[in-house]
Amino acid sequence: MFRTEIPPDNRALRHAVYGGAVYLASPCAGSLKLVRKAQDAIRSVLDVKEIRCAHLELDEDTFFTRIGALRRMIYLEEEFHNILSDILEENGFDPDCTAFDPLRLRVVCPDGHLNKKAAPVYFPHRDTWYAHPQSLIVYWTPLDDLGEDETFAIYPDYFQQNVPNNSEVFNYDEWVKDGPDLKIGWQKEDSGLTAVYPRSAEGFDPGRDVGFSCPAAGQLFIAGAHYHATRPQNTGKIRFSLDARLVHLEDAASGTGAPNVDNRSSGDILKDYIRARPR
């Protein structure tokens, strides 16, 4: 399931991912630069002694506000867009044919699954349930060395099998009608309680899960159609990671991508993707 070498032929990479393969590659120059810049931003904005223990140094409201500011910065700043474009080109993606939904900072606190406001973070799901095309590829990189218990679980048995879900409740245009806050995350404290998030049916047994460890700035490429879930963790430290969604525009236009077995979400998210920038 996991492959470690990025093929020189990008079409081969994309089609392998559409077929369920997951690439877990070593850091590249761009991903190392991205992690350094993200860590610098986190240190500057959180202003704490140890960023992975910020939840112990800051009160809940201050922590939420500062993380929200960080997520907005990383999602919107052009410099982060440019670094991501460099990473994609370094891994063989043609910038003339590639667009992306920008980087999102993911923050998984110890025992965060016990916080009802954070519940949607842990819902097992496919990213395609959020109105992305079946050609969606997710790029993910951690800011620190992470063990298997700190990353996320992939449920490969359901890559090509129906998962009972409520993805029909998600309409992208409705989701962003009041602005990008829900996309960016951590902008409104009660969003996890009030917003509608697609998820699998309660009590559904996903079967076996496959996990992985990853070094800081390591690179994961995975189909957005893979059924997966963030792992609850109680290591005592925050898990910081970054991810972005990318689409080869010709694949999307031709309907090339992973199989659609249960996605009923709607709306046009590609209109808000950003075109990759050639180096």
- List domains and CATH numbers for the chain: 2-275 (2.60.120)
Q: Is the pLDDT of residue 76 over 60?
A: yes
User: What is the DSSP annotation of 213-236?
Assistant: -B-TT-EEEEETTS-EEEPP--SS
Which residues on adjacent β-strands are paired with residue 221? 23, 139
Residues 6+ apart with CB under 8 A from 5: 25
Residue-wise pLDDT tens digits, 227-247:
999 998 899 999 999 999 999
Q: Reduced to 3 states, what is the DSSP secondary structure of residue 100?
A: strand
Q: Give the phi and the psi of residue 5 in degrees, each rounded to 5.
A: -110, 120
pLDDT band at 193 (very low <50, low <70, confident <90, very high): low
- Position 30 scores a pLDDT of 98
Q: Are 34 and 241 in contact (CB under 8 A)?
A: no
Q: Is the pLDDT of residue 40 over 70?
A: yes
Q: Is the pLDDT of residue 276 over 60?
A: yes
Q: Reduced to 3 states, what is the DSSP secondary structure of residue 72?
A: helix
Look at 42-51, 94-103, 116-125, 241-250 and tell me which has the smallest mean pLDDT. Answer: 116-125
Q: Which two tokens stand for residue 223?
A: 């189909």
Q: Are 40 and 225 in contact (CB under 8 A)?
A: no
- Report the helix count and the strand count for the chain, using DSSP H and E: 9, 9
Residues 6+ apart with CB under 8 A from 22: 1, 2, 3, 154, 220, 221, 222, 223, 226
- Position 151 scores a pLDDT of 96
Q: Which two tokens stand for residue 67?
A: 């993380």
Share of the chain above pLDDT 70, in %: 96
Kindly report whether the global pTM for this prediction surpasses the value 0.75.
yes
Report, as an integer, the average pLDDT of 157-185: 90
